[in-house]
């Protein structure tokens, strides 16, 4: 299985691709009360002289296909989802969004925080 980052993605540290430690699942529903506000998805914005955003191994990339499926951040995201799957199945309809918010917070605020990124489109809808 190829876990190298997609083309044009730079690892700022230059470190070898390795899975960062996963945060432990949050089981207390009251702990998610302060996370009720949803943060918007970050759109990849140009940075540096080459107009390319630096995507880290902790980031979760929106999209379809092998490139996003094999991205290390997406693999980590799916591992975190697997940790919370039983909580989600047991949760009531009202509690299910709280489980989802805990998963998002685990990515955004864990030991190695990541972002949720989607590819920016040009005005004509193409990139």
Instruction: Give the pLDDT confidence of 38-95 residue by residue, as tens digits.
Output: 455 554 544 556 667 788 999 999 988 888 889 999 999 999 999 999 999 999 999 9
pLDDT at 13: 40
Check: CB of residue 98 under 8 Å from CB of residue 37.
no
Share of the chain above pLDDT 90, in %: 40
Q: Which residue has the higher pLDDT, 20 or 106?
A: 106
| Per-residue pLDDT at 29 exceeds 80 | no
Q: How many CA atoms lie within 13 A of 107 on its CB side?
A: 28
Provide the mean pLDDT of the chain: 72
Angle of helix 72-90 versus helix 96-109 axis, rounded to 10: 150
Highest mean pLDDT among 25-29, 32-36, 76-80, 108-112: 76-80
Q: Which two tokens stand for residue 123?
A: 């005005």
Residues paired with 61 in a beta bridge: 117
Q: Which of 32-36, 79-83, 101-105 has the lowest mean pLDDT?
A: 32-36
Of 107, 98, 100, which is closest to residue 21 (Cα–Cα)? Answer: 107
Is the per-residue pLDDT at 10 higher than 50?
Answer: no
| CB 49, CB 71: distance < 8 Å | no
pLDDT, residue 32, reads 44
Report yes or no: 118 and 62 within 8 Å, Cβ to Cβ. yes
| Residue 108 token pair | 């955004």
Confidence of residue 111 (pLDDT cuts 50, 70, 90): confident
């Amino acid at each position: 299985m190829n876990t190298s980052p997609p083309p044009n993605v730079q690892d700022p540290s230059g470190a070898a691709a390795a899975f960062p430690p996963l945060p432990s699942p949050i089981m207390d529903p009251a702990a998610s009360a302060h996370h009720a506000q949803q943060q918007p998805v970050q759109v990849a914005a140009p940075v540096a002289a080459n107009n390319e955003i630096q995507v880290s191994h902790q980031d979760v990339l929106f999209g379809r296909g092998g490139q996003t499926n094999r991205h290390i951040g997406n693999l980590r995201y799916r591992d975190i989802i697997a940790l919370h799957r039983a909580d989600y199945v047991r949760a009531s309809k009202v509690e299910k969004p709280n489980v989802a918010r805990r998963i998002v917070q685990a990515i955004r605020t864990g030991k190695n925080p990541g972002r949720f990124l989607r590819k920016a489109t040009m005005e004509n809808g193409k990139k």
